[in-house]
Amino acid sequence: MPQKVDTTEPPQETFEKLGPYGFIQKKKGQRLTQDTILLAEFLLPLHDTDSVIDLGTGTGAIPLMLAWRTGVSRIEGVEVDGTAASIAKRNVEANNLTSRISIIKKDFRDLPGLCPEGAFSVVVSNPPYVKAGSGRVSPMRERAVARGEVMGDLRDLIRVSSYLAGRDGRIFYVFPVLRVFELIDEIKKMGLKARRLKLVHTKPDKTARLFLIEAGRTGVLKVEEPLFL
């Protein structure tokens, strides 16, 4: 008797725990990285009265982590990729967080026309690392958008972040160390100041791979103790 062949496709998503929450993400494509987790930690502490927007939220990891670790009741995640935005919404709904988190499928560059200036006290982004016109572009669109400046460059990100944060808001990014001077230069051009800088090392005997930065309209730069993973 011929053996029955299983023709069902393997699941295209994984389900994991993110703190107390369930977290869905695609099996292939852009997935949650340690960079995102470090950035969420760098934001803390937050006040319950803060309002947070995550530019390029992917499948909604930062909003979920902030809902877990803080009492903030207004958290928005903005994502241009339709598949990722759909999964982010499912993550919010499955964890009964719709009263605290909103996911918007939108190009972040369009936000100044939709939100008033200074609409958020905290703006955060784990942006694409690869500068436009350099590096290999992934043939997988979701990964290409997440890793490279396909939908807006560094200047666009800082311009929109500055608008959304207004005069009193705070801006948080994580970036490769190779772009630290470029980022600080663009921050200055936009009338912002770097307030905090933390280098991230994967090993004690290796040079820093990443840096975490906080910026705002006022302040003096504080270089914090480096982080060794």
> Over 80: is that where the pLDDT of 152 sits?
no
Token reading at 16: 């994991």
Q: What is the pLDDT of residues 28-62, one digit of tens each?
A: 878 899 999 999 999 999 999 999 999 999 999 99
Which residue from 113, 75, 124 is spatially nearest to 97, judged by alpha carbons?
75
Separation between Cα atoms, residue 112 and residue 164, nearest integer Å: 7
Taken in order of first residue, the domains within the chain and their CATH numbers are 33-170 (3.40.50.150)
What global pTM score does this model have? Answer: 0.87
**Tokens 């990285």 label which residue?**
33
Q: How far is CA 209 from CA 53, 212, 215, in A?
A: 26, 11, 20
Contact 46, 73 (CB under 8 A): no
Separation between Cα atoms, residue 141 and residue 181, nearest integer Å: 29
Cα 109-114-117 angle, rounded to 5 deg: 85
Kindly report the number of other CB atoms within 10 A of residue 180's CB atom: 17
Q: What is the pLDDT of residues 61-76, one digit of tens each?
A: 999 999 999 999 999 9
